[in-house]
Amino acid sequence: MNLKEKDPLIWAYIQKEKERQENTIELIASENFTSKEVMEAMGTVLTNKYAEGYPKKRYYGGCENVDAIEQLAIDRVKKLFGAEYANVQPHSGAQANMAAYQAILQPGDTVIGMSLENGGHLTHGSPVNQSGKLYNFIPYGVKEDGRINYNELRQLIFEYKPRLVLAGASAYPRIIDFKTIRESVDAYNESIGISTEPKVLSDKDIEYIEKHKCYFMVDMAHIAGLVAAGLHPSPVPYADIVTSTTHKTLRGPRGGIILAKSELGKKLNSAVFPGTQGGPLEHVIAAKAVCFEEALQPEFKLYQRQIVENCKVLAEGLVACGFNLVSGGTDNHLILIDLRNKGITGLEAQQRLEELGITVNKNAVPKDTEKPMITSGIRLGTAAVTTRGFTEDDIATVAVLIAEGLKFGKDAKFTDDELKIAVRQLCKDHPIY
């Protein structure tokens, strides 16, 4: 008996979702389409194996095969990013972040992170998230031009004396200068007597560092694929800890990873298990290993270059159609549109475009006055459409479809039916699988 026969209702919904994905232009920056090989690894007998602990240090027997698979995933991701240490067990980017916090912070410690409305993430200190409930987050943001205010960030570090500075974003369309942030963190540490130069430390020195040192962490969930391809500066040489998801631009299964300096490895392992989660999802880890191997291939760099090029073309097309882009454009895989000059909300735009077969997500913009479930903007990303083969000409057409679709009939050159047909044709020309 197969799934269709045993549970026809679930099977039917899966088929409907497959059809939705095939017939929709997916522009949500957090989403992507995995390879068939990644999905194959996900649906294996590894689902059956419980394996608390780490390779060769498990609390269960019968782990020789999952040990080998998990070690492969670790070795491959370390090679991919040039990291000294890696943990591939986090179930998500959010859990990777919380484990990293637990490894180096105490409840109530001060952390400086990018605010949600300026492009940050819920786990970067939002008051509705456990990160904001457990730790004292001080937000930083962007200047009037939509770019990170590195001078303000440096001032906040010296003013609030944090235990952690967190970089990375979920809706920031520009290159992040990790080197400059590292220099600010080092300058602060030097100011409180913690040298960056290697030296023999006494027990008293170690105790002082444990209580006062400011760490630098980067959440590169959105840009990980670009980093792997050398199209965005890597945070790994500068940050003490780097977290990421394995989907988005990496094009793998939904999950998380932690990279770090080797000296933090023991603390981070303990923070993941048993600190924040139980048994690892070994079928997902196998899929991560497949994803990392794919990302190590030359064609992956070509794919990432196309993502960036497609995003630039989309940005240029939208600007030509009168849209205001936060920061004026993009350096990476995503675009943030401020819709206030169009007189529509992010929610309205999201719903309208979905009617036409274009999937985006509402998103806050700097100085947004709308509620989080409404917002004044939408976020677009080109990773998923690039996976299915969209190139510059296709993306230029997408920009026009978005512009025409958001006219809500006013001065529109095309009917809704014509727009829907155009969307379906693009999808038909570029099947996912």
- How much is the average pLDDT of 74-94? 98
- How much is the average pLDDT of 33-62? 97
The reported pLDDT for the residue numbered 352 is 96
pLDDT at 243 over 70: yes
Separation of alpha carbons 156 and 139, rounded Å: 9
- How much is the average pLDDT of 377-390? 98
Of these residues, 24, 50, 78, 397, which one is catalytic?
A: 50
Whether 259 and 241 have beta carbons less than 8 Å apart is answered as: yes
Of these residues, 26, 70, 117, 219, which one is catalytic?
A: 219
- Concerning whether 177 is annotated as a catalytic residue, the answer is no
- How much is the average pLDDT of 57-81? 97
Domains of the chain (ranges, CATH numbers): 19-33+299-429 (3.90.1150.10), 49-295 (3.40.640.10)
pLDDT at 168 over 90: yes
- How much is the average pLDDT of 392-410? 91
The reported pLDDT for the residue numbered 367 is 94
- Report yes or no on whether pTM surpasses 0.85: yes
pLDDT at 199 over 90: no
When mean pLDDT is compared across 12-26, 161-175, 406-420, the lowest value belongs to: 406-420
Of these residues, 163, 254, 312, 420, which one is catalytic?
A: 254
The reported pLDDT for the residue numbered 302 is 98
- Concerning whether 180 is annotated as a catalytic residue, the answer is no
Q: Above pLDDT 70, what percent of the chain?
A: 99
Separation of alpha carbons 249 and 174, rounded Å: 15
The reported pLDDT for the residue numbered 411 is 77
- Concerning whether 248 is annotated as a catalytic residue, the answer is yes
For the CA atoms of 343, 173, 20, 93, what is the dihedral angle to 10 degrees?
A: -120
What confidence tier does 322 reach under pLDDT thresholds 50, 70, 90? very high
What confidence tier does 209 reach under pLDDT thresholds 50, 70, 90? confident
Separation of alpha carbons 85 and 286, rounded Å: 18
Of these residues, 22, 24, 31, 52, which one is catalytic?
A: 52
Of these residues, 174, 248, 312, 388, which one is catalytic?
A: 248
Average pLDDT across the chain, whole number? 96
pLDDT at 88 over 90: yes
Which is more confidently placed, 209 or 362?
Answer: 362
- Concerning whether 50 is annotated as a catalytic residue, the answer is yes
pLDDT at 315 over 80: yes
Which is more confidently placed, 370 or 199?
Answer: 370
Of these residues, 34, 243, 245, 375, which one is catalytic?
A: 245
When mean pLDDT is compared across 207-216, 323-332, 417-426, the lowest value belongs to: 207-216
pLDDT in tens, 280-300: 999 999 999 999 999 999 999
The reported pLDDT for the residue numbered 410 is 65
